[in-house]
Amino acid sequence: MAYCVLTAMILVVMSFSAHPAMERRLGAPASRALQRIATSYFWLVFIVTGLEHLVGPHRPDVWYGFSLLLLVGVLLLRFADSFVAHWRQPRMAEGTT
């Protein structure tokens, strides 16, 4: 029950901090920090669940391989998105001057 309540609270914080009105009210750095904390919580839970499968009681799980592929794929997609955004930023600034 406590896990469900904590997850719901994190989801609410994540949802509200992503809204443009809250970003204007809190400021961009605070909004990004809230989003990073909330997203880190979900990644942590996902990773711990995956590790629990490796060290905990072994149950047959046909979705375990898919969940690992999803974890790695989304993480790589996130890094690629950050890299492209960082790479495009200086080039866009050059075009405006």
pLDDT of residue 72: 82
Both 69 and 43 in a single domain? no
The per-residue pLDDT of the chain, averaged, comes to 76
Query: 27 and 73 share a domain?
Result: no
Tally of domains within the chain = 2
Residue 95 has pLDDT above 70, yes or no: no
Residues 13 and 53 in one domain: yes
Could you list the residue range(s) of the whole structural domain that residue 32 is in?
Answer: 1-59
DSSP 62: T
39 vs 75: CA distance, rounded Å: 12
Same domain membership, residue 74 and residue 50: no
Residue range 22-46, pLDDT digits in tens: 878 888 888 888 878 877 887 787 7
**50 and 73 fall within a common domain:** no
pTM for the model: 0.49
- Per-residue tokens: 29: 């750095």
